[in-house]
Amino acid sequence: MKILVTRRLFPETIERLRGLAEVDYRDLDENLPAAELAQRVVGCAGLMAGLTDRIDAALLAGADGLKVVSNVAVGYNNIDVAACTAAGVMVTNTPGVLNETTADMAWTLLMASARRVVAADAWTRAGNWQGWKFQDPWMGQDVHGATLGILGMGRIGQAVARRAQGFDMRVIYHSRTRPDATSHIPGRAQWVAKERLFSEADFIVLLVPYTPQTHHAVAAPELALMKPTAHLINIARGGVVDDVALIEALRERRIAGAGMDVFEGEPALNPGFRTLDNVTLTPHIGSSTRATRLAMANCAADNLCVALTGQAPPNLINPDVILERVS
Ligand code: DGY
- SS3 category, 300: helix
| Gyration radius (Cα) of the chain, Å | 22
Cα of 98 to ligand 1 centre, how many Å? 8
Nearest CA to ligand 1 atom 7: 287
- In sequence order, the 6+-apart residues with CB closer than 8 A to the CB of 36 are none
Asked whether 240 and 214 are in contact (CB, 8 A), the reply is yes
Q: % helix / strand / coil in the chain, to the nearest 5?
A: 35, 15, 50
Q: Give the pLDDT score at 179.
A: 77
pTM across the whole model: 0.95
Domains and CATH numbers, the chain: 2-97+290-326 (3.40.50.720), 99-281 (3.40.50.720)
Q: What is the pLDDT of residues 120-146, one digit of tens each?
A: 999 999 999 999 999 988 999 999 999
- SS3 category, 296: helix
Atom of ligand 1 nearest to the CA of 76: 3
Cα of 78 to ligand 1 centre, how many Å? 11
The number of helix segments (H) and strand segments (E) in the chain equals 13, 12
Hey, which residues are catalytic here? 237, 266, 284
User: What angle, rounded to 10 degrees, do the helices at 290-308 and 11-18 form?
Assistant: 10
Q: Give the pLDDT score at 185.
A: 74
Q: Give the pLDDT score at 178.
A: 81
Sheet containing strand 90-92, strands side by side: 22-25, 2-5, 46-49, 68-71, 90-92
C-alpha 203/C-alpha 140 separation (Å) is 13
Residues of the chain where predicted confidence (pLDDT) is lower than 50: none
Asked whether 215 and 243 are in contact (CB, 8 A), the reply is no
- In sequence order, the 6+-apart residues with CB closer than 8 A to the CB of 28 are 7, 8
Q: Give the pLDDT score at 287.
A: 98
Asked whether 156 and 97 are in contact (CB, 8 A), the reply is no
Q: Give the pLDDT score at 267.
A: 95
Asked whether 295 and 12 are in contact (CB, 8 A), the reply is no
Nearest CA to ligand 1 atom 4: 73
Cα of 50 to ligand 1 centre, how many Å? 9
